[in-house]
Amino acid sequence: MEAIWVILAVIVSFFIWLMCASHARGKELRAAIERRQKYVEAISPTARIIVNNGIHFFFKDDTQQFFGFDESGKTYDFAGLFDVNIYKDCIILRHKDILEICIGREIGKESGTFPLMQPYIDDIAKEVMPILRDNLHNELSKNGITPTHEYEHEGIIWGCDVNSKKFFMTYGCIQFYDFSDLKRVTIEDLTQNKLWDGNYVIVVTVKQEDIWNDFDYTISFQSKDATFNNLLSMFKGIRNRQIR
């Protein structure tokens, strides 16, 4: 009987500790949210908070053309954004001033960072993808490229210009190639591969001028959806239009 009372006392103590810890954590998060709200208001009257849950933070100012993700006082201009990657637990932005910004759980890490929930990923993506697309189009325009086809998958934009015979992508950075640089396009079925986060892969092999080997761009899909089929058709069309 005494043992039962000891066990019950331990259980009750654990739940009391859990409630106290939860209350303290909630208080800490609320304080962070309020502090960040005041921080953004102090930076600019036109800045908008996109995500502020006490852990993750992202704000944006469309008027002054900058965004930020922490309370360091540093902001990043729209024109410097050159790559966006959207994953299950995070969104990664690449900018000329900082190279890489990871909001959410870092790839390959199970501790130390917290996953970014899907609604927050969607909110940030909705704000940054138009910026990336504008930067891409500005760069393409400088080089006489006008998109005939353009598709977006997990933050990466792919497309081509049939008239100038160029294809392009925002894979790591803004890049474009001649149709003749496309060596091959292959499909891999990875439905039985439990180590790969995806079921189907399109591998786009491109000739590189500055390195000895060709380069493979890997595009992963959960299913053969509309974007999968559109990209595959686009690359097949490029192959058909190559100068032989």
Query: What is the domain-level CATH number for residue 176?
Result: 2.30.29
Return the pLDDT at 22. Answer: 47
Return the pLDDT at 106. Answer: 83
115, 135, 155 - which closes a domain: 135
Give residue-wise pLDDT tens across range 93-130.
999 999 899 999 987 666 567 899 999 999 999 999 99
Return the pLDDT at 61. Answer: 98
CA distance 142 to 162: 17
Domain with 149 in it: 143-241
Segment 65-78 shows an average pLDDT of 96
> CA 151, 158, 140: angle at the middle one, nearest 5?
110
**Mean pLDDT for the chain overall:** 87
CA distance 41 to 112: 29
Instruction: Identify the bridge partners of residue 150 per DSSP, sorted by sequence position.
Output: 159
Return the pLDDT at 46. Answer: 97
CA distance 19 to 11: 12
Segment 184-191 shows an average pLDDT of 90
109, 135, 161 - which closes a domain: 135
CA distance 59 to 32: 14
In the structure, what pLDDT confidence band is assigned to residue 211 with cuts at 50, 70 and 90?
low
91, 106, 135 - which closes a domain: 135
Token pair in block for residue 166:
């160029």
For the whole model, what pTM was predicted?
Answer: 0.85
Count structural domains, the chain.
2
